[in-house]
Homo-oligomer: A and B are copies of this chain.
Amino acid sequence: MRAPELRARVVHANQELVRHGLVHLTWGNVSECDREEGIIAIKPSGVSYAELTAESIVIIDWDGKTVDGDLKPSSDLATHLEIFRNFDGVGGVTHTHSTAATAFSQAGKPLPCFGTTHADHFFGEVPLVRELNEEEVAEAYEENTGKAIVEHFQNAGLDPLAVPACLQKFHAPFIWGASAMDSVKNAVALEMCCDMALKTLSLNPDAQALPSHILRKHYLRKHGPGAYYGQG
């Protein structure tokens, strides 16, 4: 995929964040990478969604250097890069401060898998990733945020393609997928599941996680080898 096509896809994915109510002001960004070309397209920093054009999307190489574009990339670029470099098969990354997912991050709670809506998108609990310490913040805040995410998945033995999201403590969600739009869809699913979980816990503080045989069925009918959901 060449830069113009990648830019068009990334500007569209960023605008979808607005349409789905996941961002206010300039609080969010979506990127997509082309692993063959070794390039990443990402939203420019602090630009309003109404003013976003394909030309304003910044093209970055695998080392994080801008190779095309007049604007500065999102300040969260280094976090996106860590995710692309360490999670094989990820083609798109989304970061938002969507309300319910951010509430889970601020409450310091992972998102339990309370039902099939969650199981259709995430194969089990969406983890809480720790906050950074003083040294990590001072040294390279955004890069170390990405490293903390990668480290969490590795230590927990979690497959990032099966659980394509996390909640960072005191911060907000990071979400990924096979493409930019796929990561946006997962961001929508995460926000909806967090909103449903808030209400589930309000009704029943002792709500139980979905039994594993139903989790497997729902996840696999959509994402497994014999998936039969959709027009496949």
Contact = CB atoms under 8 A, between A and B. Distances in A.
Interface of A: 20, 24-27, 44-47, 71-72, 75, 97, 99-100, 102-109, 114-117, 120, 131-134, 137-138, 141, 170-172, 185, 188-189, 192, 195-204, 207-208, 210-211, 213-214, 217, 221, 228-232
Nearest to A70: B231
Contact of A72 (B138, B198, B231): B231
A202 B207 contact: no
Contacts of A210: 170
B99 A199 contact: yes
Among A47, A102, A105, max chain B CB count under 10 A is at A102
A178 to B, nearest CB: 15
A203 B114 contact: no
Given A203-B103, A208-B108, A116 B231 contact: no
Nearest to A192: B24
A132 B72 contact: no
B170 A131 contact: no
